[in-house]
Amino acid sequence: MAEGKYAGQAKCKACHSMKKHGEMHGIWKRSLHARAYQTLLSPEAKAIAEARGLGDPAKEKDCLRCHVSAHDVKAERIQRGFKIRDGVQCETCHGPGADHVRLRQKDLNAPAWRPELSRGEIRLPSEKDCRACHNPDSPTFEAHGFDFAKALGQIRHLHPQRKAPRVQAKVKKPPAAASPPEKEGG
């Protein structure tokens, strides 16, 4: 099976900025993900990189892996129009989107929304996906931490016709209270 190609957020915007689709692109555009690459150009990022013995954070693999989409992907898997400066794009969470764009362009004039997706067309993100970058290896993790449920609420983008989100944060139950020790002899 061939690996998918990355189309870039501009291709996603064509459909996902429409109100009838929930203005999903706008939610991403207002998020920190959309500005992730730009943060690498800041004096703070340069200071962090220098403290870690790294060069320009906007060129360092250790920085790019969490601040851009498709950072380690072969050039033939990236379509024309994809821009690294667009940061952590839709495809970081949902996988390469060129097939999705191609399949859905056929549906642009369809009268009804199709909630089902072709197998492998896109994927839904998981907490594990987020924690690939939002973890103690990140130099700013200690200052910011990561709460998946809170983060999910900030980036969630539902189609207006969907009744409930498909990605849910697992609610952790508090540990059960320990039973008092039994008294001897009685």
The full set of domain ranges for the chain reads: 9-155
Helix (H, G, I), strand (E, B), or coil: what is residue 158? coil
CATH superfamily of 9-155: Flavocytochrome C3; Chain A (1.10.1130.10)
State the Cα angle at 119 between 1 and 21, rounded to 5°. 130
Query: Quick check: pTM over 0.85?
Result: no
Q: What is the pLDDT of residues 118-145, one digit of tens each?
A: 656 788 899 999 999 999 999 988 888 8
The whole-number average pLDDT for the span 85-90 is 97
Helices (H), 3-117: 9-16, 24-29, 36-39, 43-51, 61-67, 90-94, 98-105
Choice between 177 and 106, residue whose per-residue pLDDT is larger: 106
Distance (Å, whole) CA 179 – CA 174: 15
**CA angle (88 as vertex; 83, 90 as ends), nearest 5:** 90
